[in-house]
């Protein structure tokens, strides 16, 4: 633990109140190419982190590679939703319900648990109608629908599909390890939606994203799957997250990058035109700092056109307002960060 105390993870993001720094977020990141060579890094790029939902685009590869997507006529929109941490808007929930219905299932088959939609108006409408959140509202319900689809395809039991030793999760883990260039994954912990989350270093996660961005050296089936995942996410940015969300805003403004957030301050990105992958972790897990850091890194890499940056506005450079809506502060990168 004493190592943690002195480890110099740099301050990357500042929270200002007035013109004075109120809080600070430390950021580690790694940028790699598809062969795994580290191009840029600061902080603890070699320390395992839980990538959480940032690996959803990688977990979704099995939907394509097993033939499940083809057999069960999974649409491009559904593929995007399989990669999503969605806001629980009607467009997300309805798509999940219809997908499950096509499998002859309903949302009782989902083992992800329930939580209110993160999209506040949707959550308020639900409460105002006297309803409770259901599994389809869970931000991971698209991924879970995908895992049920794969279970059906490979003839595995549907019940218990979230367990680490279930054939679907084993398949997902093998795929993740291959993409990240890891011989054996460490023991997983349990993610918010019940499935295993495997520790990866930021360099490994960046490598997996770089291969998603630049799959030319991968097997033909995987190469095709990577390209299809990237196409689906960039074609349907509103399905990957939703209204007011950073992933959606970034992929709308810059349709040639693929970005995916994860809980506890993780962000991953694939930049096909540069053949690069990127992974970052806010040391303290703050979701408010992660998109600000991601966009600063994409800008520094030359992956974000100036117009895209301008179009993003407050989504990724938040102005803090108090309860009377007065602007009282802002969140922004620390001067000189990142040191690319």
Note the residues at the interface with a second copy (CB under 8 A): 1-2, 4-6, 8, 10-11, 15, 17-18, 20-26, 48-50, 111-115, 124, 127-128, 130, 138, 187-194, 197, 199, 264-265, 282-286, 289, 322-326, 328-329, 334-337
For residue 179, the minimal CB distance to a second copy (Å) is 21
Q: Which is nearer to a second copy, 45 or 153 (CB)?
A: 45
Place of tokens 């502060």: 329
Find the shortest distance in angstroms from Cβ 70 to a second copy.
31
Q: Which is nearer to a second copy, 1 or 310 (CB)?
A: 1
How are beta strands 11-17 and 258-262 bridged, if at all?
unpaired
In the complex, least distance from residue 124 CB atom to a second copy, rounded to whole angstroms: 6
Q: How far is CA 290 from the centre of its chain?
A: 11
Q: Are 130 and 124 in contact (CB under 8 A)?
A: no
Nearer Cβ to a second copy, position 50 or 99? Answer: 50
CA gap 287, 13 in Å, rounded: 12
Rounded CA-CA distance 67/131 in Å is 37
- Whose Cβ is closer to a second copy: residue 72's or residue 198's? 198
Rounded least distance, CB 215 to a second copy, Å = 30
Instruction: Work out how close the CB of 333 gets to a second copy at its nearest, in angstroms, rounded to a whole number.
Output: 10
**CA 298 centroid distance within chain:** 16
Paired residues of 42 in beta bridges: 29
Token code pair at residue 118? 């993160």
Tokens encoding 147: 């895992």
In 3-state terms, what secondary structure has residue 259?
strand
CA distance 12 to 56: 25
Give the residue with the Cβ less far from a second copy, 113 or 181.
Answer: 113
CB of 210 vs a second copy, minimal distance in Å: 24
Q: Which is nearer to a second copy, 73 or 325 (CB)?
A: 325
Contact 58, 226 (CB under 8 A): no
């Amino acid at each position: 633990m004493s190592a943690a105390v002195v480890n110099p993870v740099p301050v990357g993001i500042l929270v200002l109140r007035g013109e004075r720094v109120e809080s600070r977020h430390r950021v580690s990141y790694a940028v790699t190419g598809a062969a795994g060579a580290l191009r840029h890094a600061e902080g603890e790029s070699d320390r395992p982190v839980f990538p959480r939902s940032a690996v959803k685009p990688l977990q979704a590869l099995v939907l394509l590679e097993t033939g499940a997507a083809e057999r069960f006529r999974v649409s491009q929109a559904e593929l995007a939703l399989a990669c999503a941490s969605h806001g629980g808007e009607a467009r997300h929930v309805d798509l999940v319900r219809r997908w499950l219905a096509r499998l002859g299932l309903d949302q009782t088959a989902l083992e992800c648990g329930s939580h209110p939609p993160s999209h506040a108006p949707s959550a308020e409408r639900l409460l105002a109608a006297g309803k409770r959140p259901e599994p389809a509202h869970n931000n991971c319900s698209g991924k879970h629908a995908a895992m049920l689809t794969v279970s059906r395809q490979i003839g595995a039991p549907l019940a218990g599909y979230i367990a680490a030793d279930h054939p679907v999760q084993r398949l997902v883990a093998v795929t993740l390890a291959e993409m990240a260039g890891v011989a054996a994954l460490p023991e997983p912990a349990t993610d918010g939606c019940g499935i295993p989350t495997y520790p990866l270093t930021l360099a490994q996660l960046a490598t997996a994203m770089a291969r998603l961005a630049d799959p030319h050296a991968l097997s033909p089936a995987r190469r095709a799957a990577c390209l299809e995942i990237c196409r689906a996410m960039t074609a349907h940015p509103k399905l990957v997250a939703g209204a007011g969300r950073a992933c959606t805003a970034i992929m709308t403004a810059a349709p040639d990058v693929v970005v995916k957030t994860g809980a506890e301050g993780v962000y991953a990105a694939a930049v096909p035109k540069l053949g690069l992958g990127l992974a970052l972790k806010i040391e303290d897990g703050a979701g408010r700092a992660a998109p600000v850091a991601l966009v600063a890194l994409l800008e520094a890499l030359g992956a974000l056109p100036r117009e895209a940056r301008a179009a993003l506005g407050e989504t990724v450079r938040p102005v803090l307002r108090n309860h009377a809506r007065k602007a009282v502060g802002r969140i922004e990168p620390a001067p000189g960060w990142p040191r690319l």
